[in-house]
A and B are shown apart, each in its own frame.
Chain A
Amino acid sequence: MNRKAAVSKAYVRPMHGWWRRDPFFVRYMAREATALAVLAYAIVLTVGVVRLAQGEAAWNGWLQALRSPWSLLLHAVLLVAMVVHAKSWFEIMPKTMPMIVIGGRRVGAATITRSGWAATVVASIALLTIAWWLRR
């Protein structure tokens, strides 16, 4: 939309297609799009809870559906998207936090990002350990 101020005749450039103008904006949009993968996985899990409430047959049907090739493909795609999601958010995380001073020195952005990854690794290992322990 080319809006023009009545007095100064200043020219306002259109914003159409702004996100394609710079690779930085494309990466930003990719980061935002991975939120849809988070939503998709939340829906898959919610369906699982609903099926569980409907009884054993429904629950087993859901488990069966998860083993289908399409489901495995979907989960592979969702996993990649979740990793991209985590990576991009850990990169922006230092920008969202107040200054952290430990021992008189400011904690750097790279340290904050690495802490995010460390927490992810610890949580993932804990989850896999619990899953393995429950399946024994």
Chain B
Amino acid sequence: MSDADRSVEIEVLRYRPEQEDAPVWQRYTVPYSDDLSVLQALQHVKDELDGTLSFRWSCRMAICGSCGMMVNGKPALSCQTFVRDLLPGPVRIEALAHFPIERDLVVNVEGFVRKLESIKPYLIPKHPRTLAQGEYRQTPEQLEQFEQFSSCINCMLCYAACPQFGLDPEFTGPGVLALLHRYNADSRDGGRAQRMEVLNAEEGVWSCTAVGYCSEVCPKHVDPANAVNQNKVNSAKDYFLRFLSPKGAT
């Protein structure tokens, strides 16, 4: 049988707040091809079968971080997840776990954005610097300290993989804490003291119980579990060393 004759069953968890109180599964049949991504399957549904289906997407190349969803129960970017790897189907697609569902596969990201803003995710210079002073210089070793953590695309798959975030939505969570570490670990940055408050809080690193699934599902190999857990040591040092130094361990 050629690809043109084949089809695959897709099940999508629908939630239309004006229509139903709780989400319901809906099944679609989509033409199969060897290079069909889960995102393309959803686009086929929206374009050809049911225009009411809602989902987010943008770049189709795993860099915008918009199309994260649960595919067969695992957090994944739907653009880089291929139906051929999920045969014979049906492929079950659900909104990212642990986030409130606004509609169908669209989740509420307000909490995530609020947390992201709270860690000041930008370089805070140690001293004011003029253009005339030229560029900052870093050694390869200094770059390596933060480079992997700067690969985060804010796709929130790690949040969908984190049961502690599911149980307590106030937990700052793996992605934002990894970005916090990305700036704290940067030799050009002087904003560490301002970020320690978020890190030290109960909703900061201490809500993590080292499940480690966040690092497994990260499409960019950021390893947020490493960023969070090594900062438990930094948080403990920050707590105890303040007894020795009036300014704290910064």
Contacts and interface: CB of A to CB of B under 8 A. Distances in A.
- A complexed with B: yes
Interface of A: 2, 5, 8-13, 15, 18-19, 21-22, 24-25, 28, 32, 92, 94-99, 101, 104, 106
Interface in B213-247: 213, 215-216, 223, 225-226, 229-230, 232-233
Counting chain B residues whose Cβ lies within 8 A of the other chain, the interface size class is 20 to 34
A25 B163 contact: yes
B100 A11 contact: yes
5 contacts: A8-B102, A10-B108, A11-B15, A92-B212, A96-B232
Nearest to A32: B209
Given A12-B100, A18-B166, 6 more contacts: A10-B100, A13-B101, A25-B211, A25-B213, A28-B212, A32-B209
Contacts, number: 75
Contacts of A95: 210, 212, 215, 223, 225-226, 229
A2 B108 contact: no
B125 interface: no
A35 B39 CA distance: 42
A135 B108 CA distance: 66
A11 B13 CA distance: 12
A11 B73 CA distance: 18
Given A8-B102, A13-B101, A28 B229 contact: no
B25 to A, nearest CB: 13
A95 B210 CA distance: 8
